[in-house]
Amino acid sequence: MAAGTRIAVLRERASGETRVSATPETVRKLIALGAAVCVEAGAGLPSSIADADYLAAGAETGSAAQVLAKADIVFGVQAPDPALLEGVTPGAWIVGALDPFGAPSRIEAYAAAGLEALAMEFMPRITRAQSMDILSSQSNLAGYKAVLVAANLYGRAFPMMMTAAGTVSAARVFVMGVGVAGLQAIATARRLGAQVSATDVRSATKEQILSLGAKPIFVESLGIEGEGSGGYASEMSEEYQRAQAELVSGHLAKQDIVITTALIPGRAAPRLISDAQIAAMKPGSVIFDLAAPQGGNVEGCVADDVVERHGVRIAGYSNTPAHLPADASALFARNLFNFVSAFWDKYLGRPVLDEEIGGAIRLTQGGRVVHPRLTA
């Protein structure tokens, strides 16, 4: 990777993908660092960014082949097809959400081509990497969108309304899983006027739920379990699992809208709601399953479809952030810029990774797959 680093920004080719990995704002910032930026023609159109906007920001535009010629870094939202990268110089970086568990053959192809694949979804959850965390930025928007979609499917109003014709009761919203998406879902439902409750397996989230004005649903009599190291969930005792399941089942039956958010990287989504629990819910209720891309938290969920079971509508998108393309692109692009700029060496004219972050996100190097999670 030589001085005068060239960054290629590709048009996304995955079905339903509307985001783009650089915006005119981040193009200007990358150029200010000393990079040259080349954007594939039409890359920003699904996010309402015209080629002229990139040109005005100082980028070049061209075909995929022109953009990739002599590229040192290739930006993508989703992993580009290895066949598209045939002319890219060995040693070039491929940076984006690369889905290493879902498409291992693609990662092997990057290695065979001598490319250095950097999976941004593997970014460590440490303070200095927060501004580079694509999972957090995109999950935030996903939690917001989930509530809006559920509100649209729900046949009633969200807030309590007192009118001359009578009172309309506030909707009851239950959020299952209080990570970034869950917290945003709570905040959004509260802003719309709903009565909100939430649950999680981690004790630290109880205070977060309360801070947003929602009601925490936990098994108090046995003490809250499930808190692992680093804020991640740990295995709960069988007694606690039974008590939590009974509590949640009883609570679900009273809810109008449920948002599920539980995802485990590299594994099928955990089942949170069974068909029997759906059957106990009120007709007209709505469930939005943010884990739909990984099989769903809800039995019977079908990504990108609205399924009705026992009078309850179940929805979930395969790519929820893509339904907010302008904002999702802006945040994703800033994550990539923050990543590159944090390691930019002004004397070498390129980014140089350290081991803490480089070792965490590097999938391939020197013709081999090197990440321990992929080689174990």
Contact yes or no for 125/100 (Cβ under 8 A): no
pTM, 2 dp: 0.92
Of the listed ranges 88-92, 229-233, 317-321, 337-341, the one predicted with least confidence: 229-233
Cα–Cα dist 177/157, whole Å: 24
Confidence of residue 376 (pLDDT cuts 50, 70, 90): confident
pLDDT for 327 equals: 98
For domain 6-122+326-356, is the CATH number 3.30.1160.10? no
Assess whether the region 6-122+326-356 and the region 135-323 belong to the same CATH fold: yes
Confidence of residue 220 (pLDDT cuts 50, 70, 90): low
Of the listed ranges 140-154, 227-241, 311-325, the one predicted with least confidence: 227-241
pLDDT mean over 336-355 = 96
Q: Is the pLDDT of residue 234 over 70?
A: no
Give me the residue spans of the domains in the chain. Answer: 6-122+326-356, 135-323
Q: Is the pLDDT of residue 226 over 80?
A: no
Query: 201 or 310, which is more confident?
Result: 310
Confidence of residue 242 (pLDDT cuts 50, 70, 90): confident
Of the listed ranges 179-188, 191-200, 242-251, 305-314, the one predicted with least confidence: 242-251
Contact yes or no for 276/248 (Cβ under 8 A): no
- 286 has which bridge partners? 257, 313
Q: Is the pLDDT of residue 97 over 70?
A: yes
For domain 135-323, is the CATH number 3.40.50.720? yes
Helix ranges (H only) for 49-126 are 51-56, 64-68, 104-112
Q: How many residues does the chain have?
A: 376
Cα–Cα dist 237/230, whole Å: 20
What whole-number percentage of the chain has pLDDT above 90?
A: 86
Residues 6+ apart with CB under 8 A from 306: 153, 313, 314, 315
pLDDT for 4 equals: 80
pLDDT for 2 equals: 43
Q: Is the pLDDT of residue 1 over 50?
A: no
Tokens of residue 347, six digits:
């004397």
pLDDT mean over 21-34 = 98
Q: Is the pLDDT of residue 223 over 80?
A: no
pLDDT for 78 equals: 98
pLDDT for 219 equals: 72
Report how far apart, in Å, the C-alpha atoms of 148 and of each of 15, 135, 145, 153, 213 are.
Answer: 23, 20, 5, 9, 19
How does pLDDT run across 43-74, given as a tens digit for each residue?
Answer: 999 999 999 999 999 999 999 999 999 999 99
pLDDT for 222 equals: 45
pLDDT for 141 equals: 98
At residue 356, what are phi and psi to the nearest 5 degrees?
A: -60, -45
pLDDT mean over 229-248 = 62
How does pLDDT run across 103-114, given as a tens digit for each residue?
Answer: 999 999 999 999
Hey, which residues are catalytic here? 125, 130, 133, 136, 232
For all residues of the chain together, what is the average pLDDT?
Answer: 92
Confidence of residue 365 (pLDDT cuts 50, 70, 90): very high
How does pLDDT run across 150-177, given as a tens digit for each residue?
Answer: 999 999 999 999 999 999 999 999 999 9
pLDDT mean over 87-97 = 96
Of the listed ranges 8-12, 83-87, 338-342, the one predicted with least confidence: 83-87
The 8 Å CB, 24+ separation contacts for 338-342 are 338/131, 338/132, 339/95, 339/120, 339/123, 339/132, 340/7, 340/30, 340/33, 340/35, 340/73, 340/95, 341/29, 341/30, 341/33, 342/128, 342/131, 342/132
